[in-house]
Structure 1
Amino acid sequence: MEGAVALYGEDGSLQSIADTLSLNPIKVRKLLITAGVYESDTARLVRQTFHSFRETQDYSTAVTSTMSALQLSRPSVTSYLPYEKGVYFPEEAEAANISAGAERQRHYRAVVALRKNPCEENLWKCVVAFRGYKFKTMSGLPFTYTLKKGRGDEFNKELWIDRREDSKSLAWSSVTLAYHNIGKIGEVVDRPKALGDIRGVSYIYGLFYRFGLIDVPEKVKEKMKK
């Protein structure tokens, strides 16, 4: 599942992923559905119909009822349902405690959720998911950030930026201020200052590019991806 999710995150088609993993495309789709990263009108309809029957029926009967309601075969219905058992990691789990594939999956799901529904809540979920990730500023300087926990074992809304031997804090209010200064999600932002005269905006620029909230000029993109 981790391998399928990683390849899917690289814009791989079901067939190309199947070829790489020596699986059939239907199994690949089911793995992606189980991971929660694959969406389609048919998958959504099958899942919603199945769950409506599952409230009062056992698994097998609910599949049969879904088959009848949607005029689909049993293999077709089950291919659009997630596997019953799987391994899931809480968003709060540290990267050191999960596999690289699981971490990529967490990043992918957070970015997809933010792109589908841009809001401060999903932006914060992205921040939580990407702690410890190696970002780059517009000039190509690498940096990471950490989050500290407060009362109730919840993360404080303050990012601690790690640059070489020193650390500096980045307030969540600065991140949200820059977020609301984006004209249109996905638009090209020429430079960090275009997001506002905000403390730490050079780091915010790197975050927003990785989260898919903004795009950057091609010459800048080369430095940020190296």
Structure 2
Amino acid sequence: MEKEERTAEAAGYEGEITAENLWTVIVSLQGKVFYTSKKLPFTYTVRGGELFTDRRDRSVTRSTFERALEKIRSDPAIKGPKKLNVYGAPYVWAILKTVGAVPSEKEEPKGQG
């Protein structure tokens, strides 16, 4: 499977991902294909402060992404979506990882997510 580079830089943003600029980056990447830790492809659309994936009927809110980002930055034990303990964790993790908000040392070994 060919993996395209999808980072904050690819979305036209240069610099560190923060709670303030995270949603702007997420909005700019809607419609692109992302992959969960289990390699399931998904796309999403954003309506207001909610993100809707093509794999779920319920939305993931902007505040959920902000909480997940804070958890990732404050807890070194979080190395995959299960530890995030937020709704839509596989999608939240995949998006945060893709935009560069998850440090590479936080990535789980294959088969653990």
Cα offsets for 1:52-100 (capped at 9, x unmatched) = xxxxxxxxxxxxxxxxxxxxxxxxxxxxxxxxxxxxxxxxxxxxxxxxx
The total of aligned residue pairs comes to 105
Residue 10 of structure 2 corresponds to which residue in structure 1?
107
Query: Is the 1:131–1:144 Cα contact (8 Å) retained in structure 2?
Result: yes
Query: Is the 1:188–1:217 Cα contact (8 Å) retained in structure 2?
Result: no
Residue 219 of structure 1 corresponds to which residue in structure 2?
110
The 3-state SS of whatever aligns with 1:109 is coil
Residue 167 of structure 1 corresponds to which residue in structure 2?
57
Question: With structure 1 as the length reference, what TM-score do the two structures score?
Answer: 0.40
| Aligned alpha-carbon RMSD (Å) | 3.0
Partners of 2:78 and 2:43 lie apart in 1 by 21
- 1:55-204 to 2 correspondences below 5 Å: 107-110=10-13, 113=14, 116-148=15-47, 156-163=48-55, 167-183=57-73, 189-195=78-84, 197-204=85-92
Residue 20 of structure 1 corresponds to which residue in structure 2?
none
Bigger relative CO (Cα 8 Å, ≥ 6 apart): 2
Moved over 3 A (4+): none
Query: Is the 2:11–2:29 Cα contact (8 Å) retained in structure 1?
Result: no
Q: Which amino acid aligns with 2:93?
A: Y
Cα offsets for 1:167-203 (capped at 9, x unmatched) = 321111111110110136xx795321222x1111111
Partners of 1:122 and 1:143 lie apart in 2 by 22
Percent identity reads 29
Query: Is the 2:11–2:28 Cα contact (8 Å) retained in structure 1?
Result: no
Partners of 1:108 and 1:120 lie apart in 2 by 16
Give the unaligned 5+ runs of structure 1. Answer: 1-9, 11-103, 149-155
Partners of 2:41 and 2:27 lie apart in 1 by 18
Residue 97 of structure 2 corresponds to which residue in structure 1?
209
Partners of 2:44 and 2:87 lie apart in 1 by 15
Distance of aligned partners of 1:212 and 1:117 in 2 relative to their CA distance in 1, 3 Å threshold: closer
Give the unaligned 5+ runs of structure 2. Answer: none
Cα offsets for 1:110-151 (capped at 9, x unmatched) = 3xx2xx233222211111111011111111111111022xxx
Please identify which structure carries the higher helix content.
1
Partners of 1:211 and 1:188 lie apart in 2 by 20
Partners of 1:144 and 1:168 lie apart in 2 by 14
